[in-house]
Structure 1
Amino acid sequence: MSLIARFICLAWFFAGLTFAISVGMPGGYNIGGALIFLSSIGLIFIKPKWALLNKQDRLLFWTFFSFAISMFIAVAMDSMSIRELDKPSRFLVVLPVLVLLLNVTNRKEWLWYSVLFGAIFAFSMALHERVVLGDRRSGVGINEIMFGNTAMLLGLLSFAGAIYFYSQKRYAWMWLSIIGGFAGIGGSVLSGTRGGWVGLPFIGLFLFWQCRDLLGRKLLLSVFSVVILSLVTVVAVPQTGVQKRVNDAVSDITKYLDGSRRATSVGVRFDLWKSSVLIVKQAPIFGVGASQITPLRKELAADNLISKASSRFGHAHNEYFDALAKRGIVGLVFLLMVYLVPLKLFLNKLKEHKTDWRIRSYAIAGALIPMGYIDFSLTQGMLSHNIGVVMYAFPVVYFWAALRWAEREALEEEPMV
């Protein structure tokens, strides 16, 4: 086997590495993505079977491609710096990775091992910062919000892994995955990132609903009770900081509504969202462009329509409002497309495969990624950060390719008629 072929065969290991060190070490998320992209260059030296890409694969491919091109056009229209192309370019970089993983030797189970390791690693580092270093919020060298949301995502994916291992009666790995699930949520708690907590009950209900037939009523009720008890404990114990963060949010909202103080964490976000609605009225179809956002916010602050504290931000701290103000209705449509098309693809697979848990587990994990980002994007510009783009585009492709491999295996095992 040639050196190039050996490197290509490590593709699934590199995919797993993306999760394993994503937030446990600063910049870790870039390493796995960079290595798997380099291995995808090997497609030049082999003959990929393009026939392996079905209609759904192509839909995912063109969705990511279209979103990237829409962002490139927005940057060009706004005369922004070429460096603004860096983040959306990841949606193009991941496309050969999709083709590669649909062709390369299957090692898809490495994804399950990697997400639980990544979640536990992230929690360990966050705990070290809070307990040993005495930091108020954990971030492990990156933005605390991005760290917390990514840790939450790793935890949710670990729970999907637990479902997979339970269905395969591999109970040791199941328990490790459960630990990884709670570790990921724990990392989010230690980061103090409230935005990720909002959607947790809804995503949890999705998980329970999808695996109700696998677990059975009695076990499902037991698991549900343990989860509720764990969440109540986390909120009740002051040392976790959850109670304080929730109380602070309630206080901020009250102060904003009664007008006594607008320059709070929540108040600034409300003003940023309000300013986005006011700004987009000037150019509703294509938006005003990223370069105009800060000057326009300063004008709104001068007119006392928003607080001065809000006027210094170039992002709305909400992906949807930000897309609307900068790129108009067209930009918002492309953003929704990049979230909803992958979600729909994975949900369709859940409907298609009602009993095969080797396939359903990967579909559940895949659906959790856009579901998580839809939630996270309510209070943070996830795709405005390198880690946010990488930990969305690449994991969606990884789990989609894994799901497609699982379908092939199931088809091969069907008895001949």
Structure 2
Amino acid sequence: MSRSVLQRGVNVAAFLVPGFALWLPSGYSYGALALLLLAILSLPQWLGKPVPRHTVGLALAITLMALVLLLDFDPSSGSLKALDRPIKYLAALPCLLMLAQWAPTCKAVWRGVAVGAWGAGCVGAWQVWGQGLERAAGHTNEIQYGNLALCLGVMCLIGLVCLWARWRPTERWALAGGVFMGLMASVLSQSRGGWLALLLLAPVLLWLALRWLPTVRVWRASGALLLAVLLLGGAFHDNLRQRTALAMEEVNAYVDTGEAHTSIGQRLAHWQLAWRLGTERPVWGWGSEGYEREKRSRAEHGEVSAFVTQFSHAHNELLDTFARRGGVGVLALLLFYGVPLAVFWPSRRRLERLATPEAREQDLAVRLVGVCLVLSYIGFGFTQVFFAHNSGNLFYLFMLAILSAMLVTPGAARSQA
């Protein structure tokens, strides 16, 4: 495969990962499959080549998660279902190594992020106002759709603020519209977990932006964002108020009477059960089949509401991992969050090694998007097992690969923005 063809293929695939994520059914898979195909076809061009240390760190974190997930595989069962997730994780490794040699251009990635956010808003608007659905769910479910849309919207905001001087007016409007459309999609989904994640994400990003960007630019962007939030809040006031009031009612009902037949109630019941199961087998956990079997058994004995057996996970990433895979799984999950966060964190040493202000702005934008991705998933994981879904796994894995590749050649790969 020629260098020019491979580069164009990488750019297209890097565009598709965020760009098609919410437009189409399994839209997050198209770019991932394209990257895997390119990695296979270009194997002689990247295999054995030296890679940066941060790529090695990400590869080890991904491999560790894959190995922990493989603990659920029982060859004697005759079922290959338990191999589904580990295979996806292992498939991301050749893409990660290939991208370390062939970084996508910034233009391709930012366009993909903007198109993805616009797609989320358009799909949500059509489902609510065109089809009359109560909640927008995209082509997955309300929680996955709303949370990924929110993440894409915040990524658009980062690109807009960090690289403001680089964009043409039409590009600024495209990114600004992506911010609004991503937020609107989140509101239309009525996914409250995403709003909680935003409370974690916003102060960290604001602090980092104030540390590295012109103060006036940051506060103007914050004011514009606040205005957009107020407009959306006013337009959807009744829905937001009802969802918030319902959450409080369900919490009070669970505390007062143990009512678990509600969205919040079953989460609280799940969390208690998952913690109890994890403490009983704190090293290796119960395994996925053992966890489901034990949950049904305890529901039959009245130790937990039978309502929780209708759900396949504990609605909390950390607790679900603790119950299924014990402390070993929790350690792997923390590294799966922590290693990328350490890789992308915009430290003074990393930014000051770049020779020009333009290169520093580009590097900062990529790093803040990486921080946004990780912190968003941590926040989403508080009320949802995001990695129990293909959308959560593939978007995280392949966005990590794409963004980490953009850190490899800060002067060359980013100068094209």
- Normalised by the size of structure 1, how large is the TM-score? 0.91
Question: C-alpha distance in 2, partners of 1:388/1:29?
Answer: 9
Counterpart of 1:376, as a letter, is F
- Structure 2 partner of 1:345: 343
| Cα pair 2:16 2:31 within 8 Å, conserved | yes
Secondary structure of the corresponding residue to residue 45 of structure 2: coil
Report deviation, 1:86: 1.2
Distance 2:312 2:212 in 1: 47
Alignment of 1:29 with 2:28, yes or no, is: yes
Q: What letter corresponds to residue 405 of structure 1 in structure 2?
A: T
User: Could you list the per-position Cα deviations for residues 254-305 of structure 1 after superposition, in whole angstroms to 9, with x for gaps in the alignment?
Assistant: 1111116321100000001111012123311100111122232233323433
Q: Which residue, out of 41, 44, 68, partners 1:70?
A: 68
Q: Does 1:374 align with 2:378?
A: yes
Aligned AA for 2:201? I
| 2:162 and 2:213 in contact (8 A); partners too | no
CA distance in 1, matches of 2:414, 2:198: 32
> How far apart are the structure 2 equivalents of 1:137 and 1:80?
39
Any idea what SS the aligned residue of 2:73 has? helix
Cα deviation for residue 67 of structure 1 reads 1.3
Instruction: Extract unaligned runs of 5+ from structure 1.
Output: 412-417
Does the 8 Å contact 1:33/1:390 carry over to 2? yes
2:252 maps to which residue?
254
Structure 1 residues 113 and 292, CA gap change in structure 2 (3 angstroms): same
User: Secondary structure at 1:68's aligned position in 2?
Assistant: helix
Shift of residue 155, structure 1, vs aligned partner: 0.9
Does residue 404 in structure 1 map to residue 403 in structure 2?
A: no
Cα distance change of structure 1 residues 308 and 208 upon mapping to structure 2, 3 Å threshold: same
User: How far did residue 218 of structure 1 move?
Assistant: 3.5
Residues 49-108 of structure 1 deviation map (CA, whole Å, 9 limit, x = unaligned): 712x12222111111112112211343499683222112322211111122222226523
C-alpha change, 1:105 and 1:410, in structure 2 (3 Å) is closer
Aligned partners of 2:46 and 2:217: how far apart in 1?
48
Closer/same/farther in 2, CA of residues 268 and 295 from structure 1, 3 Å limit: same
User: 2:211 aligned with 1:198, yes or no?
Assistant: no
Question: AA paired with 1:267?
Answer: G
2:180–2:228 Cα contact (<8 Å) kept? no
> CA offsets, 1:131-172, max 9 Å, x none?
011001111221111111111111111112213431425443
Query: Would you say 1:39 and 2:38 are equivalent positions?
Result: yes
218-227 or 55-64, which moves further after superposition?
Answer: 218-227
Single out whichever of 343-352 and 203-212 deviates more from structure 2: 343-352
Letter aligned with residue 109 of structure 1: K
Query: Counterparts in 2 of 1:70-89, with a 5 A limit?
Result: 70-76=68-74, 81-89=79-87
Deviation at 1:387, TM superposition (A): 1.0
Q: Secondary structure at the match of 2:330?
A: helix
Q: Give the match's secondary structure for 1:148.
A: helix
**Contact 1:15–1:111 (Cα < 8 Å) also in 2:** yes
The yes-or-no answer on 1:365 pairing with 2:363 is no
**Greater relative contact order: 1 or 2 (C-alpha under 8 angstroms, separation 6 or more)?**
2
Equivalent residue number for residue 332 of structure 2: 334
User: Once structures 1 and 2 are overlaid, which stretch shifts more, 70-79 or 195-204?
Assistant: 70-79
Structure 2 gaps of 5+ residues are none
Q: Is 1:14 the counterpart of 2:20 in the alignment? A: no
From 79, 103, 114, the equivalent of 2:112 is 114
CA RMSD after TM alignment: 2.4
Give matches, 1:178-197, under 5 Å: 178-197=176-195
Distance 1:209 1:301, change over 3 A: same
Superposed CA deviations along residues 198-245 of structure 1, whole A, max 9, x for unmatched, are: 021331222222222565334433332332343244334446722221
Q: 1:157 to 1:145 in 2, by over 3 A?
A: same
Secondary structure, counterpart of 1:75 in structure 2: coil
Paired positions, count:
409
CA-CA distance at 1:5 after TM superposition: 6.5
Amino acid at match of 1:32: G
Deviation track 1:16-73 (CA, whole Å, cap 9, x = no partner) reads 111111111111111111011101112334355712x122221111111121122113
The residue identity in structure 1 corresponding to 2:141 is N
> What is the distance in 1 between the residues matched to 2:393 and 2:286?
23
Q: CA deviation at 1:248?
A: 1.1
**Alpha-carbon separation, structure 1, partners of 2:211 and 2:309:** 51
CA–CA separation in structure 1 for the residues paired with 2:236 and 2:15: 35
Q: 1:89 to 1:5 in 2, by over 3 A?
A: farther
> For 1:278-357, what aligned pairs fall within 5 Å after superposition?
278-347=276-345, 352-353=350-351, 356-357=360-361
Structure-2-length-normalised TM-score = 0.91
Moved more, 233-242 or 332-341: 233-242
Change (3 A) 1:277 1:12: same
> Contact 1:362 / 1:403 at 8 angstroms: preserved in 2?
yes
Q: For residue 16 of structure 1, what is the amino acid of its counterpart?
A: F
Residue identity in the other structure for 2:199: P
Provide the secondary structure at the position in 2 that maps to 1:50: coil
Which letter maps to 2:22? Answer: V
Q: Report SS of the residue matched to 2:96.
A: helix
Partner of 1:415: none
In structure 2, the partner of 1:394 is 398
- Please tell me the residue identity of whatever aligns with 1:50: K
Greater mean deviation of Cα atoms: 346-355 or 149-158: 346-355
